[in-house]
Structure 1
Amino acid sequence: MYKVFVNDIPIILSTKKDLGEKYISIPLKEAKFKRIIKKINKGKLLYVNLYHDKKEKLLKHLFKKLPVVTAGGGLVLNPHNEVLFIYRNGRWDLPKGKVEKNESIETGAIREVEEETGVKNLRITKFLQTTYHVFQRKGRYKLKVTYWYEMTTDYDGELVPEESEGIMKVKWKDMAKAQKALKKSYANIKLLFPEEILPVHSKNGISQV
């Protein structure tokens, strides 16, 4: 099962034809993806299941629906076990960005974190997961596929938000403050955090299946 977020509403990709009464289920190959996105944005659809009987074909068919942008990002921890957050477009987010041509995803993820926050001495400790979300540029819908890594750093210098990318603040947050920040974050970002620090409404809300 995969979740493709349109704002904070997940389109489910699964091998199950029936996910329950509230879900509209559509064969993935037949799905008019842009039409579905527009209905979600207008509040006319909340629960969508796109299904295919072969799991290995789910992403293959998804990637045919929209242009794909590959990105890398980091959940960065310092020696105090604080998490690095950025503030952009009125929400707390984690640093990430588009991977450049001929650049590995890991290298791109580290570069983007450095550029967006000013933090250096980054080291990848493990891969976390991949998230999928739809965004719009110049009137066109695109699918951003973001590969997330846990990173560590001993950097204790100045945090520098990349204002040209719309980033207003960069902050280290302990787990209590991270929980508060996640209340004003995105559903796909919440997927990266341990369940015990998630806001209560996120555990049982629409972002969870």
Structure 2
Amino acid sequence: MYKVFFNESLLTFCNQSRKEAKNVLFQNESQFDEAFHLLSSKSSTDVNIYSDKIDEVWAKFLKYYKLIQAAGGIVRNTNDDFLFIFRLGKWDLPKGKMEKGETKEESAIREIEEECSITGLKLERFLMPTYHIYFLEEYIIKETFWFEVAYNGTERPIPQTEEGIEAVEWKSKDEIPHLLKNSYPNIKLLTEYYLDLL
């Protein structure tokens, strides 16, 4: 199953219908627009496009709208605290758009360094991609590649205020469930997946 978030709503791509969703049997690409019309009009907050060739449908979906790629990470220090940023009224994780010629790994490190003003980061492993879509004159799909990142330094993180980041804070594992109540669905998905690996 593939999951794409649109504000607080969910669009899934499955090889079968889902009982809890508004289901759309894939026949042609215009149904992508139909799905987002359902989500944006709030007539449904959970839409599922299904097909027995769902990987092919997913590939078409990624080419149908403008795709922007980004990378970031869940940063963990030697005290087993996790680095969160506060931006636009919500708790988030450091990430940003990949620059031309960058690898996912290079982009993740650069963005964390820029947004939080810490260096000496070490990528541990790739975790997962997340997808969300937003409208800015056209529908744009943002594909974000997430990594587990280790930090063993002592620098005090400083928010990149020009990017709208108000705070950068280390949070304990016990604090994370409370933070996720005021976060984004893709951050909840990623963080819960990661915590299950620990």
TM-score by length of 1: 0.86
Q: Which residue of 1 aligns with 2:51?
A: 52
How far did 1:158 drift? 2.0
Q: How does 1:7-22 map to 2 (within 5 A)?
A: 7-16=7-16, 18-20=17-19, 22=21
How far did 1:22 drift? 4.2
- State how far apart, in whole Å, the 1-side matches of 2:103 and 2:83 are: 22
Q: Which residue of 2 aligns with 1:40?
A: 39
How far did 1:193 drift? 2.2
Distance change in 2, residues 1:21/1:118 (3 Å): closer
Amino acid at match of 1:9: S
Distance change in 2, residues 1:192/1:9 (3 Å): same
Q: Which residue of 1 aligns with 2:170?
A: 172
Q: Which residue of 2 aligns with 1:74?
A: 73
Q: Which residue of 2 aligns with 1:163?
A: 161
Distance change in 2, residues 1:41/1:99 (3 Å): same
Aligned residues: 196
Q: Which residue of 2 aligns with 1:98?
A: 97
Q: Deviations over 1:129-188 (max 9, x none)?
A: 010000233x22200001100000112212111111111111100012222111100111
Q: Deviations over 1:181-207 (max 9, x none)?
A: 111001111112246979xxxxxxxxx
- State how far apart, in whole Å, the 1-side matches of 2:165 and 2:134 are: 17
How far did 1:31 drift? 4.0
- State how far apart, in whole Å, the 2-side matches of 1:21 and 1:194 are: 21
Contact 1:34 1:141 in 2 (8 A): no
Q: Which residue of 2 aligns with 1:146?
A: 144
Contact 2:130 2:190 in 1 (8 A): no
Mean Cα displacement is larger for which, 154-163 or 39-48? 39-48
- State how far apart, in whole Å, the 2-side matches of 1:85 and 1:133 are: 19
Determine helix, strand or coil for the equivalent of 1:59: helix
Q: Percent identity, aligned pairs only? A: 36
Say which structure is richer in strand: 2
Amino acid at match of 2:41: K
Contact 1:29 1:61 in 2 (8 A): no
Determine helix, strand or coil for the equivalent of 1:53: coil
CA RMSD of aligned residues (A): 2.0
Distance change in 2, residues 1:69/1:21 (3 Å): closer
Determine helix, strand or coil for the equivalent of 1:191: helix
- State how far apart, in whole Å, the 2-side matches of 1:178 and 1:48 are: 28
Contact 1:132 1:145 in 2 (8 A): yes
Amino acid at match of 2:145: Y
Distance change in 2, residues 1:180/1:50 (3 Å): same
How far did 1:58 drift? 3.4
